[in-house]
Chain A
Amino acid sequence: MSAIEFNQVVKHYGQFQALKSVSFNVEEGDFFALLGPNGAGKTTLISILGGLAHATSGAVRIMGHDVATDYRNARRAVGIVPQELVFDPFFNVRETLQFQSGYFGLKKNDDWIDEILASLGLTDKAHSNMRALSGGMKRRVMVAQALVHKPPVIVLDEPTAGVDVELRQTLWQFIRRLNQQGSTIVLTTHYLEEAEELCNRIAMLKQGQLIALEDKATLLNKGKSRTLRIKLLDGTLPASLQPLVITQAGQQYDLKLSDVAALDDLLAQIKQAGVTLRDIEVNKPDLEDIFVETMHGTAA
């Protein structure tokens, strides 16, 4: 059984089609990144997962429970941190978490609440009113709220957008530990290095369609383009190569190669121009490069 199954999920907002038949699975124990530019449909997909939106057609299951027909079991199995920063100004931090526990049917949850507070660096804010917290602190409380019922599946929708470095570190440390203890994690983020560092599987959405779904390692190997860094001993770069230049610093050039095969031709042109190389270095693309390539439809 997969932790999450998206099966031909379509979502219309009036005439607008936000999701165009999206299908993929997230397996138990995955640390899964859902990437895509603004408006790609990531939040819509997560909203359908949490029952905040209804799919126009298609089915979604969490730990085998359909989010529409078996919504109570589906919701018990997932903890969602929404993208928008929201809070109830009525309560302090501990009350917020106690009420959230109650909504999930848990009466005595204070031991676990204490543990979450400690892990997210919120212990000394436990009695602060929500209104009095900074944005970063409110975000931590939202993460805590999603975890009160110890869900096997945890979904974070851009949890680190506009948040300080300290929170990012505290948060990922904690989430990583939960993943190691068996929780399935899904996150959307704009910080690709975060996805690259944390996740084992990556999906990319564009305009409501799934355009890539791979293990991170496979995806990273897939990027065909290379960055070539050369340092010239003398002379100037042939004019024919100028269009490939990404950056230049003195005699050092970074060039974009569409693939490894283009290297032969490039070296030949340099030789022909009578320029001598002092140094050369070929670099594989990182996730960000692949992301850009994929979004522009140039990847294999």
Chain B
Amino acid sequence: MQGFQTLFYKELLRFWKVSFQTVLAPILTASLYLLIFAHVLDSHVQPYPGVRYTAFLIPGLAMMSMLQNAFSNTSSSIIQSKITGNLVFILLPPLSHLEFFAAYVLAAVVRGIIVGLGVLLVTLVFAIPPVQHPLWVLVFALMGCAAMAILGLIAGIWADKFDQLAAFQNFLIMPLTFLSGVFYSIHSLPPFWQAVSNWNPVFYIIDGFRFGFFGVADVSPWLALSVSGAALFALALLGYQLIKSGYKLRH
């Protein structure tokens, strides 16, 4: 247990010591998005009856920031330690596979949640989204951050160089998050793109999260929970197996 606590604490410190980049910068970015999109679109678009576009956008932006930062925390930590070689100091001690896995993932979840709260807090200036079902909000926030933290762990383990990680981020994470209904309700899309979105697990995470705020969403929260849960479970299994097998960590 002590081993887990130490690694968890180290991973927290790692981003907290540079919180200007790891926490404040993403909050600022999300606020800028909101400022611009809301200014341009607020009067033209009403995603759900009675829901202003700005209010609609806030949960999506908060979730997008959470997902990106959770991913970024595990992936950059792992790849940096791998490339500088100081990962040996974590590979040599008797940490169990589960301690290793959980410490990295939970620290990334904490960063995701802090960023998400920050975005929500700042965006209250623009519009106050209602919170109809706080429990759904919390559940989807945690699941989204955990799923992306694990994906980041997998990407960090897999990538040998920073540009491979960047490719993972640009060609997988970015499309998954942007094509998930952050900026729009998928009901406003042509049928083909609606169908594509239905295959994107991130869509369910954001949709469920939004349901927690407005009590309405594109799909039922239970469906969103099932799909997100299944994706999270599959990722956790894969991530844990990679650590257990020592893939690219232990030669």
Contact = CB atoms under 8 A, between A and B. Distances in A.
Interface of A: 13, 47, 50-54, 71-73, 75-76, 80, 82, 84, 86-90, 99-100, 102-107, 145, 149
Contact of A103 (B14, B84, B93, B250): B93
A90 B12 CA distance: 12
A96 to B, nearest CB: 8
A51 B87 CA distance: 13
6 contacts: A50-B91, A87-B86, A88-B86, A89-B84, A103-B89, A145-B89
B250 A54 contact: yes
Contacts of B93: 75, 100, 103-104, 149
A209 to B, nearest CB: 20
Contacts of A71: 94
Nearest to A84: B85
A86 B6 contact: no
Given A90-B17, A105-B94, A54 B6 contact: no
B7 interface: yes
Nearest to A77: B94
B92 A50 contact: yes
Interface size, B (range): 20 to 34
B174 interface: no
Contacts of A102: 2-3, 5-7, 9
Interface in B93-130: 93-96
A86 B251 contact: no
Interface of B: 1-3, 5-7, 9-10, 13-14, 17, 81, 84-86, 88-96, 246, 250-251
Given A84-B85, A87-B86, A102-B5, A51 B91 contact: yes
Contact of B14 (A52, A90, A149): A90
Contact of A76 (B1, B94, B246): B94
Contacts of B95: 103
B205 to A, nearest CB: 31
A105 B251 contact: no
B139 to A, nearest CB: 31
A145 to B, nearest CB: 6
Say whether chain B's binding surface is mostly helix, strand, loop, or mixed. helix
B88 A82 contact: yes
A215 B21 CA distance: 58
B92 A72 contact: no
Interface pairs A-B: 4 shortest CB-CB: A102-B6, A103-B93, A86-B85, A72-B94
A102 B88 CA distance: 15
A90 B251 contact: no
Nearest to A73: B94
Contact of B3 (A52, A86, A88, A103): A103
Contacts of B81: 88
B117 to A, nearest CB: 25
A100 B89 contact: yes
Contacts of B250: 51-54
A53 B251 contact: yes
A54 B246 contact: yes
Contacts of A54: 246, 250-251
A52 B94 contact: no
B96 A72 contact: yes
B13 A90 contact: yes
Nearest to A100: B89
Contacts of A145: 89
Contacts of A82: 88
Contacts of B84: 86, 88-89
Contact of A105 (B2, B86, B246): B2
Nearest to A71: B94
A100 to B, nearest CB: 6
Give the interface centre of B9, B17, B84, B89 by most chain A CB atoms within 10 Å: B89
Give the interface centre of B81, B84, B90, B251 by most chain A CB atoms within 10 Å: B251
Nearest to B87: A86
B2 A107 contact: yes
A128 to B, nearest CB: 17
A103 B86 contact: no
Contacts of B7: 102-103
A75 B94 contact: yes
A98 to B, nearest CB: 8
Contacts of A86: 84-86, 88-89
A51 B7 CA distance: 18
A100 B6 CA distance: 9
A84 B10 CA distance: 22
A103 B7 CA distance: 7
